[in-house]
Amino acid sequence: MNEDFVVEGFNVPPHPKGMVLNGKTVRLEPLNVDQHSEDLFESNSLDIEELNWRYLPYGPFKTLETFQKWLTDKATNGDPSFLSIVRLTDNKAVGVASFLRINRNDGAIKVGHINYSPLLQKTREGTEAMYLMMEWAFDNGYRRYEWKCNALNIKSRYAAQRLGLSYEGVFRQMAISKGRNRNTAWFASIDKEWNALKACFETYLADDNFNADGKPKVSLSELTKPLLYKLDNKDFS
């Protein structure tokens, strides 16, 4: 891999704030506290053991009011730029994700603050939501798409690679989260990898890849694994 080259034809990409992403099964739209908070709180309440919040630096929220206050205080600015994931079958907000660490001058952007309620976890809708965000970033000229997570979060590390993001290592003692040390695992994809990854997503998300019970015939990880620049070695440093 040639690491030293002249970057030609690069134009500063747009900021994602305010945009709407429309898919076949989901719509991603700017988080609106009045419009989405009750749906999100109700969806998250299905997570009885509150596992979704284990590796996030905030939450869980015991009441709708405290959740709404957090959304208002933290989730309505430009970076992170929060999106509600709305399920098209019932127009219900069932999860959130955000673009953050938006470095337009260098063409780098991160996806994070991902919180899928049990209604969105392990679903076609959940995968399409991630596809739509990645597609928007690369189609609009970003060169690098990042995913970072607590190094102890095995599910997140697996999810990153399933989506075609290559392992880049662990930053030790990068943060303190809820009073505990956090080592951070890094994953990313770059622009020259996108066309091949996009084909994987299109194959996976195609109607004919799903059985009548909604189960995929070919998993996304089967399609994306051969494209990974580097595999996660589960380094917990």
Task: Fill in the DSSP letter of residue 121.
Answer: T
- For the segment 17-36, what is each residue's pLDDT rounded down to a tens digit? 999 999 999 999 999 999 99
Cα 203 from Cα 213, distance rounded (Å): 18
Residue 138 phi/psi, 5-degree rounding, is -75, -35
- For the segment 182-198, what is each residue's pLDDT rounded down to a tens digit? 999 999 999 999 999 99
Of 24, 19, 25, 1, whose CA–CA distance to 137 is shortest? Answer: 19
pLDDT at 237 over 50: no
- For the segment 34-43, what is each residue's pLDDT rounded down to a tens digit? 999 999 999 9
Residue 26 phi/psi, 5-degree rounding, is -140, 160
Share of the chain above pLDDT 70, in %: 98
pLDDT at 235: 59
76 pLDDT tier (thresholds 50, 70, 90): confident
pLDDT at 111: 98
The mean predicted confidence, pLDDT, of the chain is: 95
Share of the chain above pLDDT 90, in %: 93
2/167: higher pLDDT: 167
Q: Which helix (H) or strand (E) holds 83?
A: strand 81-87
Domain 21-227 has CATH 3.40.50.300: no
- Structure-token pair, residue 95: 């999860």
- What integer is the mean pLDDT of 106-129? 98
The bridge status of strand 166-177 relative to strand 144-150 is unpaired
- Structure-token pair, residue 8: 């030609």
3 pLDDT tier (thresholds 50, 70, 90): confident
pLDDT at 73: 83
3-state secondary structure (DSSP) of residue 235: coil
